[in-house]
Amino acid sequence: MIEVHDLHKHFGGFHAVDGASLRIRKGSITGLIGPNGAGKTTLFNVIAGRLPPTSGRVTMAGEDITGLPPHALFHKGLLRTFQIAHEFSSMTVRENLMMVPAAQAGESLWNAWFARGRIRQEEAALRRKADEVLDFLTIAHVADERAGNLSGGQKKLLELGRTMMVDARIVFLDEVGAGVNRTLLNTIADAIVRLNRERGYTFCVIEHDMDFISRICDPVIVMAQGKVLAEGSAQEILRNEAVIEAYLGT
Protein backbone atom coordinates (compact mmCIF):
# COMPACT_ATOMS: atom_id res chain seq x y z
CA MET A 1 0.00 0.00 0.00
CA ILE A 2 2.82 2.40 0.91
CA GLU A 3 6.34 2.32 -0.47
CA VAL A 4 9.07 4.60 0.78
CA HIS A 5 12.09 4.85 -1.52
CA ASP A 6 15.42 6.15 -0.27
CA LEU A 7 13.87 8.88 1.84
CA HIS A 8 16.02 11.60 3.36
CA LYS A 9 15.02 14.36 5.74
CA HIS A 10 17.80 16.68 6.85
CA PHE A 11 17.54 19.40 9.47
CA GLY A 12 20.50 21.62 8.63
CA GLY A 13 23.41 19.20 8.56
CA PHE A 14 21.59 16.62 10.68
CA HIS A 15 20.18 13.61 8.81
CA ALA A 16 17.11 12.60 10.85
CA VAL A 17 15.98 10.25 8.06
CA ASP A 18 18.98 9.08 6.10
CA GLY A 19 17.99 6.92 3.15
CA ALA A 20 15.08 4.91 4.56
CA SER A 21 13.29 2.47 2.25
CA LEU A 22 10.37 0.34 3.37
CA ARG A 23 7.01 -1.09 2.39
CA ILE A 24 3.77 -1.20 4.32
CA ARG A 25 1.78 -4.14 3.01
CA LYS A 26 -1.95 -3.68 2.41
CA GLY A 27 -3.97 -5.24 5.22
CA SER A 28 -1.01 -5.38 7.64
CA ILE A 29 -0.53 -3.92 11.08
CA THR A 30 3.08 -2.88 10.64
CA GLY A 31 5.07 -1.93 13.74
CA LEU A 32 7.79 0.72 13.58
CA ILE A 33 10.28 0.57 16.42
CA GLY A 34 13.77 1.82 17.14
CA PRO A 35 15.77 3.69 19.75
CA ASN A 36 14.93 7.31 20.56
CA GLY A 37 16.11 9.64 17.82
CA ALA A 38 16.02 6.88 15.17
CA GLY A 39 13.89 9.08 12.91
CA LYS A 40 10.54 7.29 13.28
CA THR A 41 8.42 10.38 13.97
CA THR A 42 10.19 12.37 11.27
CA LEU A 43 9.50 9.55 8.79
CA PHE A 44 5.81 9.57 9.80
CA ASN A 45 5.67 13.34 9.38
CA VAL A 46 7.15 13.16 5.89
CA ILE A 47 4.83 10.34 4.77
CA ALA A 48 1.79 12.15 6.21
CA GLY A 49 2.64 15.43 4.47
CA ARG A 50 3.57 17.41 7.57
CA LEU A 51 7.22 17.85 6.55
CA PRO A 52 8.64 18.00 3.01
CA PRO A 53 11.35 15.40 2.38
CA THR A 54 14.88 16.49 1.45
CA SER A 55 14.86 13.76 -1.20
CA GLY A 56 13.28 10.41 -1.92
CA ARG A 57 9.82 9.23 -2.86
CA VAL A 58 6.66 7.93 -1.21
CA THR A 59 4.02 6.06 -3.19
CA MET A 60 0.56 4.87 -2.20
CA ALA A 61 -0.86 1.98 -4.27
CA GLY A 62 1.70 2.89 -6.93
CA GLU A 63 0.80 6.59 -7.06
CA ASP A 64 3.43 9.19 -6.16
CA ILE A 65 2.22 11.01 -3.04
CA THR A 66 5.55 12.61 -2.08
CA GLY A 67 5.06 15.97 -0.43
CA LEU A 68 1.26 16.05 -0.78
CA PRO A 69 -0.33 18.13 1.99
CA PRO A 70 -2.27 16.35 4.77
CA HIS A 71 -5.72 17.26 3.42
CA ALA A 72 -4.89 15.77 0.01
CA LEU A 73 -3.70 12.59 1.71
CA PHE A 74 -6.81 12.61 3.88
CA HIS A 75 -8.93 12.44 0.70
CA LYS A 76 -6.93 9.40 -0.39
CA GLY A 77 -7.63 7.72 2.94
CA LEU A 78 -4.18 8.24 4.50
CA LEU A 79 -4.53 9.52 8.04
CA ARG A 80 -2.13 10.25 10.83
CA THR A 81 -3.73 10.51 14.24
CA PHE A 82 -2.90 13.62 16.18
CA GLN A 83 -3.62 14.81 19.67
CA ILE A 84 -6.86 16.58 20.41
CA ALA A 85 -6.16 20.26 19.81
CA HIS A 86 -6.61 22.58 22.75
CA GLU A 87 -9.54 24.27 20.97
CA PHE A 88 -11.45 21.00 20.91
CA SER A 89 -10.86 19.92 24.49
CA SER A 90 -13.87 21.80 25.83
CA MET A 91 -16.18 20.13 23.31
CA THR A 92 -17.74 16.80 24.15
CA VAL A 93 -16.36 13.52 22.87
CA ARG A 94 -19.32 13.09 20.53
CA GLU A 95 -18.93 16.64 19.18
CA ASN A 96 -15.25 16.01 18.57
CA LEU A 97 -16.15 13.05 16.37
CA MET A 98 -18.90 14.97 14.58
CA MET A 99 -16.44 17.74 13.65
CA VAL A 100 -13.98 15.40 11.96
CA PRO A 101 -15.20 15.28 8.36
CA ALA A 102 -15.14 19.08 8.16
CA ALA A 103 -12.19 19.78 10.43
CA GLN A 104 -9.70 17.29 9.02
CA ALA A 105 -10.52 17.98 5.39
CA GLY A 106 -9.42 21.57 5.79
CA GLU A 107 -7.03 20.92 8.66
CA SER A 108 -8.01 24.19 10.26
CA LEU A 109 -10.34 25.23 12.99
CA TRP A 110 -11.62 28.04 10.79
CA ASN A 111 -12.85 25.63 8.16
CA ALA A 112 -14.55 23.58 10.83
CA TRP A 113 -16.19 26.72 12.18
CA PHE A 114 -17.40 27.79 8.75
CA ALA A 115 -18.76 24.31 8.18
CA ARG A 116 -21.01 24.52 11.21
CA GLY A 117 -24.11 25.26 9.12
CA ARG A 118 -23.48 22.19 7.03
CA ILE A 119 -22.76 20.18 10.14
CA ARG A 120 -26.16 21.17 11.52
CA GLN A 121 -27.86 19.88 8.37
CA GLU A 122 -26.03 16.63 8.55
CA GLU A 123 -26.22 16.50 12.30
CA ALA A 124 -28.50 13.49 12.67
CA ALA A 125 -26.38 11.31 10.39
CA LEU A 126 -23.13 12.46 11.97
CA ARG A 127 -24.48 11.88 15.44
CA ARG A 128 -25.52 8.34 14.56
CA LYS A 129 -22.11 7.65 13.08
CA ALA A 130 -20.32 9.12 16.10
CA ASP A 131 -22.37 6.94 18.44
CA GLU A 132 -21.58 3.84 16.37
CA VAL A 133 -17.88 4.70 16.60
CA LEU A 134 -18.09 5.15 20.38
CA ASP A 135 -19.88 1.79 20.71
CA PHE A 136 -17.23 0.09 18.59
CA LEU A 137 -14.50 1.54 20.80
CA THR A 138 -16.41 0.65 24.00
CA ILE A 139 -16.42 4.27 25.21
CA ALA A 140 -20.09 5.12 24.64
CA HIS A 141 -20.31 6.06 28.33
CA VAL A 142 -18.09 9.13 27.81
CA ALA A 143 -19.99 10.49 24.78
CA ASP A 144 -21.11 13.62 26.65
CA GLU A 145 -17.88 14.11 28.59
CA ARG A 146 -15.60 17.00 27.64
CA ALA A 147 -12.73 15.62 25.58
CA GLY A 148 -10.23 17.42 27.82
CA ASN A 149 -11.42 15.38 30.83
CA LEU A 150 -10.65 11.97 29.30
CA SER A 151 -7.81 9.78 30.56
CA GLY A 152 -4.74 9.33 28.33
CA GLY A 153 -6.01 5.99 27.02
CA GLN A 154 -9.51 7.27 26.36
CA LYS A 155 -7.99 10.17 24.40
CA LYS A 156 -6.07 7.65 22.27
CA LEU A 157 -9.32 5.78 21.60
CA LEU A 158 -10.94 9.08 20.60
CA GLU A 159 -8.02 9.76 18.23
CA LEU A 160 -8.59 6.32 16.71
CA GLY A 161 -12.31 7.06 16.60
CA ARG A 162 -11.70 10.15 14.52
CA THR A 163 -10.23 8.00 11.76
CA MET A 164 -13.49 6.02 11.75
CA MET A 165 -15.59 9.10 10.94
CA VAL A 166 -14.10 9.14 7.44
CA ASP A 167 -13.06 6.40 5.06
CA ALA A 168 -9.54 5.66 6.18
CA ARG A 169 -7.45 3.10 4.29
CA ILE A 170 -4.18 3.48 6.12
CA VAL A 171 -3.70 4.96 9.56
CA PHE A 172 -0.40 6.08 11.09
CA LEU A 173 -0.45 5.88 14.89
CA ASP A 174 2.30 7.49 16.93
CA GLU A 175 3.08 6.18 20.44
CA VAL A 176 -0.27 4.62 21.16
CA GLY A 177 0.70 3.37 24.58
CA ALA A 178 2.50 6.35 26.09
CA GLY A 179 1.06 6.94 29.56
CA VAL A 180 -1.83 4.51 29.02
CA ASN A 181 -2.79 1.90 31.64
CA ARG A 182 -2.76 -1.84 30.78
CA THR A 183 -6.51 -2.29 30.57
CA LEU A 184 -6.98 0.57 28.16
CA LEU A 185 -3.90 -0.48 26.20
CA ASN A 186 -5.61 -3.85 25.67
CA THR A 187 -8.79 -2.07 24.56
CA ILE A 188 -6.75 -0.01 22.09
CA ALA A 189 -4.99 -3.15 20.79
CA ASP A 190 -8.37 -4.88 20.32
CA ALA A 191 -9.79 -1.85 18.51
CA ILE A 192 -6.81 -1.77 16.12
CA VAL A 193 -7.07 -5.50 15.39
CA ARG A 194 -10.84 -5.28 14.83
CA LEU A 195 -10.50 -2.24 12.54
CA ASN A 196 -7.88 -4.20 10.61
CA ARG A 197 -9.91 -7.41 10.31
CA GLU A 198 -13.44 -6.08 10.06
CA ARG A 199 -12.93 -2.83 8.16
CA GLY A 200 -9.78 -3.56 6.20
CA TYR A 201 -7.67 -0.78 7.73
CA THR A 202 -3.94 -0.98 7.19
CA PHE A 203 -1.94 0.36 10.14
CA CYS A 204 1.57 1.58 10.78
CA VAL A 205 2.19 1.92 14.50
CA ILE A 206 5.10 3.51 16.37
CA GLU A 207 5.23 2.05 19.85
CA HIS A 208 7.87 1.36 22.51
CA ASP A 209 5.96 -1.34 24.40
CA MET A 210 7.27 -4.61 22.89
CA ASP A 211 4.41 -6.65 24.41
CA PHE A 212 1.97 -4.48 22.53
CA ILE A 213 4.03 -4.68 19.32
CA SER A 214 4.47 -8.48 19.59
CA ARG A 215 0.79 -8.96 20.17
CA ILE A 216 -0.60 -7.08 17.19
CA CYS A 217 2.14 -6.18 14.69
CA ASP A 218 3.45 -8.23 11.79
CA PRO A 219 5.84 -7.32 10.36
CA VAL A 220 7.94 -5.12 12.63
CA ILE A 221 10.33 -2.66 11.00
CA VAL A 222 13.29 -1.45 13.05
CA MET A 223 14.84 1.96 12.39
CA ALA A 224 18.17 3.20 13.71
CA GLN A 225 20.05 6.34 12.77
CA GLY A 226 17.59 7.32 10.07
CA LYS A 227 17.72 4.00 8.23
CA VAL A 228 15.85 0.71 8.26
CA LEU A 229 17.97 -1.74 10.22
CA ALA A 230 15.80 -4.86 10.11
CA GLU A 231 12.37 -6.21 9.31
CA GLY A 232 10.64 -9.39 10.41
CA SER A 233 8.18 -10.88 12.85
CA ALA A 234 8.41 -9.60 16.43
CA GLN A 235 10.11 -12.88 17.44
CA GLU A 236 12.73 -12.53 14.71
CA ILE A 237 13.36 -8.90 15.61
CA LEU A 238 13.84 -9.69 19.29
CA ARG A 239 16.56 -12.23 18.38
CA ASN A 240 18.28 -9.99 15.80
CA GLU A 241 21.77 -9.09 17.01
CA ALA A 242 22.02 -5.82 15.06
CA VAL A 243 18.73 -4.75 16.65
CA ILE A 244 19.86 -5.66 20.16
CA GLU A 245 23.08 -3.75 19.59
CA ALA A 246 21.25 -0.66 18.29
CA TYR A 247 19.15 -0.56 21.47
CA LEU A 248 22.11 -1.19 23.78
CA GLY A 249 24.11 1.50 22.02
CA THR A 250 21.73 4.24 23.13
Residues contributing to the site for ligand ADP (CB under 6 A): 11, 14, 16, 34, 36-42
What phi, psi does 89 have (nearest 5°)? -75, -20
| 249 to 33, 43, 245: CA distances (angstroms) | 15, 21, 6
Identify which of residues 34 and 70 has a Cβ nearer to ligand ADP in the complex.
34
Pairing mode, if any, of strands 227-232 and 220-224? antiparallel
Identify which of residues 100 and 223 has a Cβ nearer to ligand ADP in the complex.
223
What is the rounded distance in angstroms from the CA atom of residue 27 to the CA atom of residue 21? 19
| Minimum separation from the CB atom of position 228 to ligand ADP (A) | 12
Identify which of residues 14 and 124 has a Cβ nearer to ligand ADP in the complex.
14
Identify which of residues 39 and 53 has a Cβ nearer to ligand ADP in the complex.
39
| Minimum separation from the CB atom of position 226 to ligand ADP (A) | 7
| Minimum separation from the CB atom of position 41 to ligand ADP (A) | 3
| Minimum separation from the CB atom of position 206 to ligand ADP (A) | 7
DSSP state of 85: P
Residues 5 and 59 sit within 8 Å (Cβ to Cβ): yes
Q: In what order do the strands lie in the sheet with 2-11?
A: 14-24, 2-11, 55-60, 63-64
